[in-house]
């Protein structure tokens, strides 16, 4: 985990990572349970819809953990998180 996190932040980040991993596993299971019929346009469209629904379910499952982690950050950490770590001279990622 990144340096500079407090213990509660580390726990919240672990919860987020675990939720994301679980959502990914659930998505793979749901999408791979049956072989999709990609030989027809309706089959491809149905599979695309299933993929979108599965992704949305994963986002909904991980969102509370993301919010809990985000709420635990201070203002500087939130700014770095919101900008993908692009503040200062890469100081968020430890690449000074």
CB 83 within 8 A of CB 30: no
**What pTM, to 2 d.p., does this model score?**
0.72
Q: pLDDT at residue 54 above 90?
A: yes
Q: What is the mean pLDDT of residues 38-45?
A: 95
Dmax over CA atoms of the chain, in Å, equals 52
Of residues 56 and 84, more confidence is placed in 56
Taking the C-alpha atoms of residue 74 and residue 43, their distance in angstroms, rounded to an integer, is 47
Residue 65 has pLDDT above 80, yes or no: yes
Say whether pLDDT at 1 is over 50: no
pLDDT of residue 39: 96
Residue 4 confidence class, pLDDT cut points 50, 70, 90? confident
- Count of beta carbons in the 10 Å neighbourhood of residue 62: 20
Within 13 Å, how many C-alpha atoms sit on residue 15's CB side? 17
How confident is the model at residue 92, as a pLDDT? 47
Question: CA angle, 85 as apex, 81 and 91 as ends, to 5°?
Answer: 125
């Amino acid at each position: 985990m990144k340096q500079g996190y407090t213990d509660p932040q580390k726990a919240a980040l672990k919860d987020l990572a675990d939720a994301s991993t679980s959502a990914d596993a659930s998505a793979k299971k749901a999408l791979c349970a049956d072989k999709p019929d990609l030989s027809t346009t309706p089959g491809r469209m149905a599979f695309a819809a299933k993929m979108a629904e599965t992704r949305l379910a994963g986002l909904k499952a991980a969102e509370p953990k993301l919010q809990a982690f985000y709420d635990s950050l201070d203002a500087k950490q939130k700014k770095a998180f919101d900008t993908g770590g692009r503040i200062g001279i890469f100081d968020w990622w430890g690449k000074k």
